[in-house]
Structure 1
Amino acid sequence: MRIGVLGTGNMADALATHWVRAGHEVAVGGRDEPGAQRLAGRLGGGTRHGSLRMAAEFGEAVLAALPYGAGEDVARELHAALDGKVLLDCSNPVGPGFRLLTDGGPSAARRLAAAAPGAHVVKAFNLCHEDVWRMDPPAFDGRPLAVPVCGDDGAALALVSELVRNTGCEPVAGGGLERAGLLEATAALFIGLWVGEGADAQAIAPPLAYATGPGR
């Protein structure tokens, strides 16, 4: 598969590393093209580098590894190059005080979809720190990390599910793109618990067997 990566930061690096290992063709694009060249060199595997437009045109799937707000602007600028493609959003619109920056409006993923209406936007990979995605594989107590995936197009969801499995994780159907805001709100809650309170967010949910109450 050909994968375009928009951005040269930590999430771009962490996720693209798995996809290069899995044998996909990857192209990294950035406004800072020397930065894209450096990341491509670290990734190896014949990874290409160039502008944001080059990466968008290259990929069958395109990862938007960009800060909240910047992704929307870039998608609007490149919307023609993104038509018909899978556009994967891993952003978190979380600001000071762990506040959700969308503030009751459309989710970051829905804003991306509005900016590139011909693309099939899928939300995934937003619930963990980039260093978790660098693990090979991200597994805890012998259990692979589960990755919720939200989107409206079946073929796009299947493609992103493959990319999730390439990281050593298990995809979990999260519903349509209208539920992406719930993933973003969950990230804001978890980051606040982890960073603000030093709490184990995983401990707030009971095991699946108890999700509807103790058995009788």
Structure 2
Amino acid sequence: MAEVNRVAIVTGAGSGIGREVSLQLAGVGWRVALVGRTLGKLEAVAREIDSGERTLCIAADVGEPAAAGRIVAAATQRFGRVDALVNNAGHAPMKPFHQFSDSEIQGVFEVNVLGAIRLTREAWRNLADAKGRVVNVSSYSTIDPFAGLGVYSAAKAGLNLFARAIVNEGRGVLGFTVAPGAVETEMLRSIVPSSALPTNKTLAPADVARVIVACAIGQRDQDAGSVIAMPSP
């Protein structure tokens, strides 16, 4: 199948890593379903790609249980297939884990791991038909947890194992986990000021996206089931 016919769903596509992944996938001919909470941001990314013929914007919060089915239904109705799923959405409130309420813990897990599992479940038949790929965007904090990100790190760690579980299902779908360190994104700067972590100590979203895209389009199949660590400089 030509690359121009392939379809990816990318969550957290309105900014940062997700935006770069979407642009790079489109750059190699893929059609992209852009998923995020803010429609305006998704539409801005879509305009960078084309007039809308090769993109679909889906405003949704992957932390809501009902969102996964709606996202996959919209993507398949528009494009007819799903060849890759990039679970990039993240929610990283920063404070000591013992200060989290039950609802706050639940919210972190809903976005960072449960939403990814639900999306993969809903897209599974399409992914199996396409012998497709799932790329989970985890965090280097699952290897070396940052202070104040214990709950986030625990949630993202679930994605590391989930990639292996996808491979072990035996349906020909390959799962990957990319675990970057601090990446220069809006999410990072919402919790860590540049005075505490200068830009020269962070990764560029485009560099992380290149690894994710390589996994999604079949250039790193040898890494299926593993965690691809990308520590900060």
Shorter chain as normaliser: what TM range?
0.5 to 0.7
Work out which of the residue numbers 117, 124, 128 in structure 2 matches 1:79. Answer: 124
Measured on the aligned residues, the alpha-carbon RMSD in Å equals: 4.3
Paired position in structure 1 for 2:31: 26
Q: TM-score, normalised by structure 2?
A: 0.49
For residues 134 and 103 of structure 1, do their structure 2 counterparts lie closer, same or farther at Cα, with a shift above 3 Å needed? closer
2:173 to 120, 144, 160: 120
The answer for unaligned runs of 5 or more in structure 2 is 59-70, 91-111, 185-202
Give the aligned partner of residue 107 of structure 1. 161
Q: How does 1:205-216 map to 2 (within 5 A)?
A: none
| Residues 47/83 of structure 1: CA separation in 2 closer, same or farther (3 Å cut) | same
Which structure has more relative contact order (CA 8 Å, sep 6+)? It is: 2
Using the TM superposition, give the Cα deviation of residue 101 of structure 1 relative to its aligned residue in structure 2, in angstroms.
1.5
Cα 1:120/1:33, change in 2 over 3 Å: farther
Give the Å deviation of 1:172: 8.8
Deviation at 1:71, TM superposition (A): 1.0
Percent sequence identity over aligned pairs: 11
Output the amino acid matched with 1:4.
A
Q: Is the 8 A contact 1:29 1:49 kept in 2?
A: yes
CA–CA separation in structure 2 for the residues paired with 1:65 and 1:30 = 10
Q: Which residue of 2 aligns with 1:49?
A: 56
Q: What is the TM-score when the length of structure 1 is the normalising length?
A: 0.53
- Determine if the alignment matches structure 1 residue 160 to structure 2 residue 218: yes
User: How is 1:52-71 mapped onto 2 (pairs within 5 angstroms)?
Assistant: 52-53=71-72, 54-55=74-75, 57-67=80-90, 68-69=112-113, 70-71=115-116
Query: Is the CA contact (8 Å cut-off) linking 1:6 and 1:30 kept in structure 2?
Result: yes
TM-superposed CA distance for 1:14, in Å, is: 0.3
Aligned pairs, how many?
159
Q: Which of 65, 85, 91 is the matching residue for 2:137?
A: 91
Contact 2:86 2:137 in 1 (8 A): no
